A and B are shown apart, each in its own frame.
Chain A
Amino acid sequence: MGRRRLTQMEYLVVRFPRSRRVRIDGEFNGRTGEAIEVEAGSHVVSLGPPSNFKPAEREIVLKDTSELAPLEISFELDI
């Protein structure tokens, strides 16, 4: 894969049974099911409204991912 560069971005996929906007560190960034390009490091991930999902948020540390091997996390439908 080659030397990791200082400027390398990381990749995250958020799974949820519905299509939903993804919130990262309180900011809308992408949608569920997509590869979302995010800076390496500690992030808090949640979903956009409505609040019918659990857990309310997930804390992750993004590192050593790639566009073909993203970090995948899931939220469940909270009926």
Chain B
Amino acid sequence: MSSEHHSDEEILKLSIRDPEYFGIIVERYEMPFLKKAFDVMRNKTEAEDIVQETFTKIYLNAGRFRKQENASFKSWAYRILMNTAFTHYQKAKKSIGRTEYIDAVGYDTDAVVAPSHDVASIADAKVQVAEIIAKMPEHLGRLLKLYYLDDMSYHDIAKQENIPLSTLKMRLFRAKRIFKKMSY
């Protein structure tokens, strides 16, 4: 295939008819995505699951992607990755109570990181998440940040915000729904 020099957007469009082209996108983003997912989950298996799910979602929604002035394929793909990572993170948090950060020993992060993408991708994803939270209603965005990014418990947030636990859960549910809507 001689499409290696084409842009991501062009390849994504081609891959809708011929899925073989999607392999180029997977090759370009597999390693940076793995690194990013590992940063969130601190678990190699979870990170791999997230990356697989992310690529599947990207392909599923490929037909809906439209390149806009401030939204490239890269930023769109990272948003999907972050959403998937958040969902996994939440599930892990529910099942364990509190996510245990597993030691990275045995996980060769140097081999996983593509040097050209590493810093850029992390910064890019962080900026995107912050941008979405900033656009959300202030009280909901704040709760989302406290729970997912600052890793605070329900109890601590409810105490800090001076709201009942049931109200907090309802707000977080709404906040998550809005975040997902704004991300796609």
A binds B: no
| Residues of A in contact with B (beta carbons under 8 Å apart) | none
